[in-house]
Amino acid sequence: MASSRRASRLGGLGSHGRGLKVLRDVNCSRPGSPTGTCLSRDAASYQAALCSPDFLFLKEPPGELDPWAMASRLSYFLWNSMPDDELFALAEKGKLHDAGVLRWQVERMLKDPKAQRFITDFTDQWLDLADIDATTPDKKLYPEFRPILRDSMRAETPAFFRELLEQDLSATT
């Protein structure tokens, strides 16, 4: 059930995890089932996990974030992906509320190639960069405009934003 634990974005699956195990065991031990159906019991467990609201929606209780919610919030914000093993381990130990640990994790995560997702999505949403292809400059007014210039314009803002993050620069630079 380790994979369902990661899929659910919860620390201890509690009754949800026990329910998946029961589903798997019941599915395997049905009378008249061929012995090969134990393989399908795992498929049923995975199907149940992937259809679970705990997997489909990022649910967090109101108030201060628990360590698991903190790991998820960090990971989905900076990577657009689930927490990695290091974040899960820190959540399990309850160390993500420590300011030094949190700062180190943010710096580590921003250095990871997955942080490019955050940079691209943030600048796209902030400046509507995804819509840059929605218009074409007038060729009479801008005869020098070429596709390579458009591509360069599109890449410049995320590259600048990445530099601000990596060098810890002020946005007023």
pTM for the model stands at 0.66
Looking at the 3D structure of the chain, how many domains does it have?
3
Distance (Å, rounded) from C-alpha 73 to C-alpha 83? 9
Domain that holds residue 3: 1-59
- Same-domain status, 2 and 44: yes
Question: 81-138 pLDDT, tens per residue?
Answer: 999 999 999 999 999 999 999 999 999 999 999 999 999 999 999 999 888 888 889 9
- Is residue 126 assigned to a domain? yes
In 10 A of CB 30, how many CB atoms? 10
- Is residue 102 assigned to a domain? yes
- Is residue 172 assigned to a domain? no
For residues 142-164, average pLDDT? 93
Q: Average per-residue pLDDT in the chain?
A: 81
Percent residues over pLDDT 70 in the chain: 75
> Is 60 exceeded by the pLDDT of residue 56?
yes
For residues 30-43, average pLDDT? 58
Residues 6+ positions from 27 with CB-CB distance below 8 Å: 37, 40, 41, 44, 45
pLDDT classification of 21: cutoffs 50, 70, 90: low
- Same-domain status, 128 and 102: no
> Is 60 exceeded by the pLDDT of residue 25?
no
